Amino acid sequence: MHYAFYSLGFGDEPLSRKEAMDRNDWDKWHEAEKVEVEALRKAGTFKYVPISEVPKGKKIIRCKWVYKRKPDRYKARLVVKGFMQSPFDYGETYAPVCKLTSIRALISKAAYKGYKLRQMDIGNAFVEAYLPPGEEVYMEAIPGFEKPGYVIKLVKSLYGLKQSPKHWADLLTKTLLDLGYVQSDFDSCLYYYKDPDSNKEIFVAVYVDDLLATGCDEFIEQLVTYMKNKFTVRDLGEAKSFLGMEIERDCKNHKIKISQKKYIQNIAERFDVLKSNPVTTPMDPGFKPSSEEKSVNKAKDRPDYSTFVTLYRSIIGSCMYAQMLTRPDISYPVSVLSCYLNSPTTTHMKHAKRMLIYLYHHADKGIVYGNNNDEDLYIAGWSDSDYAGDLDNRKSQGAHLYKMNGGVIMQLEKLFRK
Cα separation, 218 vs 115, in Å, equals: 11
Please report, rounded to a whole number, the percentage of residues in the chain having pLDDT higher than 70. 90
User: Do 134 and 210 have their domain in common?
Assistant: yes
| Per-residue pLDDT tens over the stretch 174-204 | 999 999 999 999 999 999 999 988 889 999 9
Question: What mean pLDDT comes out for the span 375-384?
Answer: 76
Task: Name the E strands within 128-244.
Answer: 138-139, 150-154, 182-183, 190-194, 201-207, 210-215, 233-238, 241-242
Alpha carbon 174 to its chain's center: 23
Question: Residue 209 pLDDT more than 50?
Answer: yes
Long-range CB contacts (within 8 A, 24+) of 327-330? 327/260, 327/359, 327/365, 327/366, 328/367, 328/401, 328/408, 328/411, 329/282, 329/365, 330/282, 330/355, 330/358, 330/359
pLDDT of 241? 92
Task: Name the E strands within 51-200.
Answer: 60-61, 63-69, 74-80, 116-122, 138-139, 150-154, 182-183, 190-194
User: Do 83 and 203 have their domain in common?
Assistant: yes
* Lowest-confidence region among 137-146, 171-180, 409-418: 409-418
**Domain finish residue from 243, 271, 302:** 243
φ, ψ at 274 (rounded to 5°)? -65, -30
Q: CA nearest 302: which of 344, 337, 270?
A: 344
User: Do 98 and 183 have their domain in common?
Assistant: yes
User: Do 215 and 290 have their domain in common?
Assistant: no
Q: What is the mean pLDDT of the chain?
A: 86
φ, ψ at 245 (rounded to 5°)? -85, 130
Please report, rounded to a whole number, the percentage of residues in the chain having pLDDT higher than 90. 54
Question: Residue 384 pLDDT more than 70?
Answer: yes
Residue 256 placed within a domain = no
* Lowest-confidence region among 185-199, 262-276, 375-389: 375-389
Question: What mean pLDDT comes out for the span 262-280?
Answer: 93
DSSP 262: H
Question: Residue 292 pLDDT more than 60?
Answer: no
Angle at 171 (CA atoms; ends 191, 194), nearest 5 degrees: 20
User: Do 29 and 171 have their domain in common?
Assistant: yes
Please state the domain count of the chain.
2
Q: CA nearest 405: which of 357, 359, 372?
A: 372
Partners of 413 in beta bridges: 399
Question: Residue 242 pLDDT more than 80?
Answer: yes
Residue 212 placed within a domain = yes
pLDDT of 218? 94
User: Do 287 and 213 have their domain in common?
Assistant: no
Are the C-beta atoms of 170 and 92 separated by less than 8 Å?
no
Alpha carbon 246 to its chain's center: 14
Question: Residue 230 pLDDT more than 50?
Answer: yes
Q: How many helical (H) and strand (E) elements, i.e. helices and strands, does the chain have?
A: 9, 19
pLDDT of 367? 94
Residue 99 placed within a domain = yes
Residue range of the domain that includes 122 = 17-243
pLDDT of 46? 92
357 CB neighbour count, 10 Å cutoff: 19
Give 3-state DSSP helix, strand, coil % of the chain, rounded to 5. 35, 25, 40
Q: Which helix (H) or strand (E) holds 263?
A: helix 261-270
Are the C-beta atoms of 282 and 358 separated by less than 8 Å?
yes
pTM score? 0.81
User: Do 196 and 104 have their domain in common?
Assistant: yes
pLDDT of 9? 40
Residue 7 placed within a domain = no
Cα separation, 119 vs 237, in Å, equals: 6
Question: Residue 382 pLDDT more than 80?
Answer: yes
Are the C-beta atoms of 216 and 202 separated by less than 8 Å?
yes
Question: What mean pLDDT comes out for the span 373-386?
Answer: 74
pLDDT of 4? 37
**With 0-12 CB in 10 A as exposed, 13-18 as middle and 19+ as buried, what is 215?**
buried
Cα separation, 5 vs 13, in Å, equals: 18
**Domain finish residue from 243, 272, 294:** 243
* Lowest-confidence region among 312-316, 338-342, 409-413: 409-413
Question: Residue 1 pLDDT more than 60?
Answer: no
